[in-house]
Amino acid sequence: MTRATRTYSDIDFAFTQSANGDLAVKYDDNAIKQSVKNLILTVNYERPFHPELGCQVHNQLFENFTPITEFIVRQTIYDVLLKFEPRIKVIDILVDADTDRNGLEITVTFRFINDPRPITVTTFLNRVR
């Protein structure tokens, strides 16, 4: 009998309970998606003892959205993922301004280092007053 191997795991940040009453766990694709989204949403100095961990894209939410702003956001996300998520290789980062909701829709396409399948994560960043 072949057993499915799970390479990556992480707790579910929604803090839902599993059937046995413990915290739910995410595996493989879902664990990495959660990690990528978490890195994008984390601001520098937000995590104790790791002030360098984070992405400063929130600073760009208060700027007029131009091609230069798009480039800065894309490059910032790319740099953070390259530095703090060694399990993936980034394929593409799309940044779309949503002026009606005053924010940015960010779509990151990546693959595992050991798997050619593309995986996509989409998140929305909006201004908080």
Q: How many CB atoms lie within 10 A of CB 8?
A: 14
- Say if residue 56 is exposed, middle or buried (CB neighbours under 10 Å; 0-12, 13-18, 19+): middle
Closest listed residue to residue 90, CA positions, set 68, 63, 120: 120
Alpha-carbon span 42 to 64, nearest angstrom: 22
- Predicted confidence at residue 120, as pLDDT, reads 97
Q: How far is CA 35 from CA 9, 12, 13, 17, 102, in A?
A: 10, 10, 10, 19, 25
- Say if residue 110 is exposed, middle or buried (CB neighbours under 10 Å; 0-12, 13-18, 19+): buried
Indicate the CATH number for domain 33-126.
Answer: 3.10.450.40
- Predicted confidence at residue 6, as pLDDT, reads 62
- Predicted confidence at residue 7, as pLDDT, reads 79
Low-confidence ranges of the chain (pLDDT < 70): 1-6, 15, 129
Domain ranges of the chain: 33-126
Helical ranges in 2-126 per DSSP H: 28-41, 67-84
Alpha-carbon span 39 to 22, nearest angstrom: 25
- Predicted confidence at residue 95, as pLDDT, reads 95
Contact 78, 35 (CB under 8 A): no
